Amino acid sequence: MVAVGKRLKEARTEAGLSQEKLGVLAGIDEMSASARMNQYERGKHVPDFGTISRIAKVLNVPPSYFYSVADDEAVLLVTYHRLIRPQKAKVLAFINELRG
């Protein structure tokens, strides 16, 4: 899945982490962390959902971010994820208002 690799690289780069450091922080064995993360980013392998969830937690993004094909949707997912609860309530109220 191309989206996973693309999003993974974007989020890792934004966080200023090396492939190895991200892999280790996500619980991947230090000896294989860099190679596995490289394979994920290149789309050679797709991590299972448990691994995606651990990576997402390290990068402070929702797991769904990695599966988003549209760039604008990915931005919305990350932005909403990083809001505090009262801000999220305002966003949801605004969306409900738009829907009529």
Type of residue numbered 46: V
Domain harbouring 62, CATH code: 1.10.260.40
Per-residue model confidence (pLDDT) at position 100: 84
Per-residue model confidence (pLDDT) at position 2: 77
* Distance from C-alpha of 36 to C-alpha of 54, rounded to nearest angstrom: 14
Q: Which domain holds residue 62?
A: 2-99
Burial string for 50-77 (b: 16+ CB within 10 Å, else e) reads: ebbebbbebbebbbebbbbeeeeebeeb
Q: What is the count of structural domains for the chain?
A: 1
Q: Give the model confidence (pLDDT) of 52-90 as tens digits.
A: 999 999 999 999 999 999 999 999 999 999 999 999 999
